[in-house]
Every structure is written in C-alpha cells, then in structure tokens.
Amino acid sequence: MIRELAFIDVLYLIAAMRWTLALTAIAFAGGAVVGLSVALLRVSPVAPLRWLAMLYVHAVQGTPLLAWLFVFFFGLSIVGITVSPWIAAAAAYSIYAGAFLGEIWRGCLQSIPRTQWEAGASLGLSFTEQLRHVIIPQAVRVAIPPTVGFLVQLIKNTSLAAVIGFVELTREGQLTTATTFRPFSVYLIVAALYFALCFPLTRWSRRLEGRLHVAR
C-alpha cells in the first residue's frame, strides 16, 4: 500500500546510517590489516613477495566490487556454504579496501627519498628497523590525505551492499521508496545523509593535514 512520506521515514533513514558506518568501520579495519601487509610486501627486497602482492592488487582492482559481493554471497552458496549479508559484505569490502589501501600506502612509503633508506642502512638498521624508525613515521604524514579520501569513497561504496540485501542507508531508501513512491524526495534525503557523513571527514582531513604539515 502506498502511503505519504512521513517524518518517521526520515528517522528510519537516519537509523540506517549506523549500519553504513558499521560496515565502513569493519571494512576499513580489515582493509587496513590487509593493506599494510600488501604495502610492506610491495617494498620488500624479496622479489617473489613483491610479485605476490602485485598479483593481489591487480586481481582485486581489476574486478568490480559488485563481483566480489556476488562471489561471497551467491558464489559460496553454490558449494553449500551459507553466508549472511553481513559476513559477505564485510569480507568483500575488506578485500577491496586492502588492495587500494595497500597501493596508497605503498606509494607513500616509496615517496620517502631513497637517501632516507640509505641513512638508516648506514646506521646498521635492518630493513624492518628502517621501516619502523625512519620510513613509516615520515610516510604516515603523507598517507593521511589519500587515506581519508579513500575512506570517504568507501562510505559511498557501501551502498552497493544493498544488492545482497544488506540493509544500510541505500537499502533503507529503496524500502522507503517502495512504500511511499516518492523516489525523488527519499533519495534526496539519502544523498544529504551521505553528504553529512562524508563532508566532516574531508574537513577533518584538511585540518589534520595542516597540523602535521604534510606538504613539507
């Protein structure tokens, strides 16, 4: 039955934001673990490890995120493994985020002048010690803007989880549209809520970038 768009519907949309944020947090945490491993392997002096990390990055970045969602949610059910939308979405987004964060952080590590690596080596530091004491502290400052930029992108990309029945902001918008038949109004509210999530992050990134003097 079609009904009018009411204030309670707006509250439902706002409430659905918590699942968008929860999925983003899980995906970013999982992606950070994978991404850090990928970044370190990409700058490793061991060639096979670099090739393995490169293969992972190319495989994930060359595949649509939607395909990963389908693989975990629909694909695993073919072999008899039932996966909930939560687990499927968390796994797919973590793999996706890991590839992109790995490349972002790899670029930040390699942006540090080679002389810094040589200085660490001249002090007798091992490769791990060079990363820990010399390279990573400098790379963190460089990594802040692109990392927050990817986080904003990740928040918006969680909308794709609606296709496997994960009820986040976009899926709630679809359900509300189906009962009110007011797509323009509903999705205008959805867009405003996404903006409310993403804009403060962008502002915070710029403020933090200024504090840490990233440009220096």
Is 92 a member of any domain? yes
Ordered per-residue pLDDT tens for the chain, 216 residues: 677 888 999 999 999 999 999 999 999 999 999 999 999 999 888 899 999 999 999 999 999 999 999 999 998 888 888 889 999 999 999 999 999 999 999 998 888 888 887 788 787 888 788 888 888 888 888 888 889 889 999 999 999 999 998 999 999 999 999 999 899 999 999 999 999 999 998 888 777 767 665 444
Is 27 a member of any domain? yes
Q: DSSP code of 6?
A: -
For residue 77, count other CB atoms closer than 10 A to its CB: 12
Its domain, for residue 178, covers 7-211
Q: Transcribe 134-181 into DSSP letters.
A: IIHHHHHHHHHHHHHHHHHHHHHHGGGGGGGT--SHHHHHHHHHHHH-
Give the span between the Cα atoms of 94 and 33, in whole angstroms.
9
Return the CATH number at 129. 1.10.3720.10
**What is the value of pTM for the model shown?**
0.88
Is 2 a member of any domain? no
Per the structure, the count of domains in the chain is: 1
Q: Which amino acid is at 194?
A: Y
Q: Which residues contact 125 (CB under 8 A, 6 or more apart)?
A: 133, 134
